[in-house]
């Protein structure tokens, strides 16, 4: 069968159609890459944990929690661990006090998952959550800290949907620590966090201002000695009691409204 040459116009039309198809294919590849880059999976892969030399979590729960008492969670790091015993003592008979402390910080994608897992294991309703995770994670810059803070607040709120939240400021260090902590960076992070918690009307426990008067009570560059931890605990207890009283008052006011004829 003899081959017939196509007219010049038809040959040019086929060539143009091939060019258009090639351009559309390339455009589709670009669009797909943009969609993948914006996906949650890609975002998670782009924000990886920056591990420290020692990573840890520390959980403490009441040995015999009283079901009649409100539940309080102290969420934080080694600073929180230090004053936790004093808070337990100060709220004895008034609240069941739990502790979840971790070396994961705001900015570390592990932190929200660790909090959720702790909450799933405990399976209790927290009436008050006092929280700060600011003394670790110095491998993350302040922009990453700022970017991660709203998600951190969201997961904290999820474990106390109808409870009271109290954010504690990060305390100063005695000297620039080997892990990257320094007072200028602490000040910057406190300001970032304050903007977010103030916008959400979350109470603030200004531990930074409190302990600035007790600089000599550092037992190392970061932590305070037992006397300092007791001073911190007293202020935490006062803030938690105020939050619990506020909850009680709110419940009483709600009851009055519901029974009003």
- Average of pLDDT values for 213-235? 97
The per-residue pLDDT for 180 is 84
Residue-range domains of the chain with CATH: 57-254 (3.40.50.1110)
- For 39-50, write each residue's pLDDT tens digit: 333 333 346 899
Q: Rounded to 5 degrees, what angle do the CA atoms 152, 49, 142 make? A: 60
- For 3-29, write each residue's pLDDT tens digit: 455 455 545 455 565 665 555 555 444
The per-residue pLDDT for 249 is 85
Secondary structure class of 57 (helix, strand, coil): strand
CB atoms within 10 A of CB 183: 15
Q: Where is pLDDT greater, at 152 or 22?
A: 152
Q: How far is 124 from 139, CA to CA, in rounded Å?
A: 33
Beta carbons of 69 and 94 less than 8 angstroms apart? yes
- Average of pLDDT values for 97-102? 98
- Average of pLDDT values for 129-150? 96
Tell me the C-alpha to C-alpha distance, in Å, between residue 93 and each of 62, 88, 206.
12, 9, 25
- Of 142, 141, 136, 152, which is closest to residue 103 (Cα–Cα)? 136
CB atoms within 10 A of CB 250: 12
- Average of pLDDT values for 66-86? 98
- Of 255, 67, 42, 77, which is closest to residue 179 (Cα–Cα)? 77
Beta carbons of 142 and 189 less than 8 angstroms apart? yes
How many helical (H) and strand (E) elements, i.e. helices and strands, does the chain have? 8, 6
Q: Where is pLDDT greater, at 21 or 58?
A: 58
The per-residue pLDDT for 22 is 59
Tell me the C-alpha to C-alpha distance, in Å, between residue 145 and each of 41, 72, 125, 152, 189.
20, 26, 28, 10, 7
């Amino acid at each position: 069968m003899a081959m017939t040459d196509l007219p010049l116009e038809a040959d040019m039309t086929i060539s143009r159609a091939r060019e258009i198809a090639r351009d559309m294919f390339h455009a589709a590849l670009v669009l797909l890459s943009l969609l993948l880059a914006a996906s949650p999976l890609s975002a998670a892969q782009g924000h990886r944990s920056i591990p420290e030399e020692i990573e840890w979590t520390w959980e403490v729960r009441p040995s015999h929690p009283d079901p009649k008492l409100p539940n309080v969670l102290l969420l934080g790091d080694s600073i929180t661990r230090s004053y936790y015993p004093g808070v337990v003592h100060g709220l004895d008979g008034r609240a069941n006090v739990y502790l979840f402390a971790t070396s994961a910080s705001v900015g570390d994608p592990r932190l929200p998952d660790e909090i959720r897992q702790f909450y799933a294991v405990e399976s209790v309703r927290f009436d008050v959550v006092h929280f700060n995770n600011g003394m670790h994670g110095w491998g993350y810059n302040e922009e990453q800290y700022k970017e991660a803070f709203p998600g951190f607040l969201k997961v904290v709120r999820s474990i106390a949907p109808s409870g009271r939240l109290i954010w504690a400021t990060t305390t100063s260090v005695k000297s620039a620590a080997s892990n990257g902590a320094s007072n200028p960076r602490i000040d910057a992070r406190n300001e970032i966090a304050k903007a977010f918690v103030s916008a959400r009307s979350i109470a603030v426990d200004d531990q930074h201002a409190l302990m600035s008067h007790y600089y000599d009570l550092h037992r190392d560059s970061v932590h305070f000695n037992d006397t300092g931890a007791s001073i911190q605990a007293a202020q935490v207890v006062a803030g938690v009691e105020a939050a619990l009283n506020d909850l009680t008052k709110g419940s009483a006011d709600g009851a009055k409204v519901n029974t009003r004829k």
